[in-house]
Amino acid sequence: MATRRKASGTRPTRGRTKGSKPGGSKATTAGGKGGAATGTRTRPASTYLLERGDLFFFYRPDVGEESPASLLDVRRFHVVMRPEDSEVLRLLTIGRKTLPGEADGDRNHWGFVERVFRDPDELREWLGGGTYETETRGERHLPAARPAGEGVYGLARRGRSSAMAYVLELPEEPGEVQRAFHIEKQGQFVLSVKNPEAARPPGIGLDEEQKAEFPDELRERFGARKWIAADPPEFLNYEGAEIVLIGGRNEEVGEFAEGALEPDSEDEQSADVFRELELERSDRTVRPLFEGTWE
């Protein structure tokens, strides 16, 4: 398994977001960082922006499935986060293969940081297809991942919760592909990080050797808690970091994050997935991203 390390560096991005500076000054109460004031009086928790950047959605068809037509033909669903002013590219895998949707109620959607890249070439190579040999079925082909959406995101904090909001740039209107993955024109959900030392629910979670190895300053933030807010967002810079996405809660935080975003109007020439990630332009990448249809 790749060494789990924190990605660093700077990367210029387009001026497409507005609002507070990511990771900048945080509003606090008189009693300290977003908590209670001294004495017996308490004040409302402050809401502040933790991070913002570009967001990409990808799905990988199942082995040997070159023409997927529904979620049943999909092997994995991924969310790629590219924070503003950073080289890091976080590839998250979502266990249910969808984002939280209205029909899910308060169901948790478990996921994890599968890979952290510092070069778009590395991400593009990982998203590509390949072949491998099996003892029982011979040579098998794993199709390349395909884009299902592009947009901008914001991660905000209020009290004990952090929420992620996004605004979709491509496609202009969600189609059947986006509906399958619960990708909306605008969306938001609570995002929490799991304590790697906490026990995992039966049948869910990474094996011990796959879990994130956080540095002391991040590990100590958990204390005795199983889940905490993604603050700082550097929690997501470590492979094996487990997360949970929850829809329908703390909408105030999500709306705050969404208000800091200003999406661009994109076309095939300006789309980051082609211009910066340099994915190939073909029917299998253009159709789901621009038309919202399965190829």
Domain extents in the chain: 47-198+226-291
Confidence band of 65 (pLDDT split at 50, 70, 90): confident
Cα(277)–Cα(11) distance, rounded to whole angstroms? 14
Which residue is listed with tokens 């020439």? 269
pLDDT above 80 for 287: yes
Least confident of 96-105, 120-129, 155-164: 96-105
The answer to whether residues 153 and 53 touch, using CB atoms and an 8 Å cutoff, is: yes
Tokens of residue 292, six digits: 């919202």
pLDDT above 50 for 291: yes
For residue 25, the model assigns a pLDDT of 36
For residue 99, the model assigns a pLDDT of 94
SS3 content of the chain, % helix, strand, coil (to 5): 20, 30, 50
pLDDT above 90 for 75: yes
For residue 245, the model assigns a pLDDT of 94
**Identity of residue 172:** E
Tokens of residue 221, six digits: 């933030």
Sign of the torsion angle spanned by Cα atoms 221, 226, 2, 154 = negative
3-state SS assignment for residue 111: strand
The answer to whether residues 134 and 288 touch, using CB atoms and an 8 Å cutoff, is: no
Average pLDDT value over all residues in the chain: 83
Sign of the torsion angle spanned by Cα atoms 253, 242, 73, 266 = positive
pLDDT in tens, 27-62: 333 333 334 344 455 555 788 999 999 999 999 999
**Where does the chain have alpha helices with state H?**
120-127, 176-180, 216-219, 251-259, 272-275, 283-286
Q: Which pTM value belongs to this model?
A: 0.82
Nearest to 291, CA basis, from 173, 152, 139: 173
The answer to whether residues 295 and 74 touch, using CB atoms and an 8 Å cutoff, is: no
3-state SS assignment for residue 149: strand
pLDDT above 60 for 170: yes
Which residues touch 214 (CB under 8 Å, ≥6 apart)? 196, 235, 238, 241
Cα(113)–Cα(163) distance, rounded to whole angstroms? 17
* Architecture of the domain delimited by 47-198+226-291: Beta Barrel (2.40)
Which residue is listed with tokens 């997501």? 236
Per-residue pLDDT, averaged over 145-173, amounts to 94
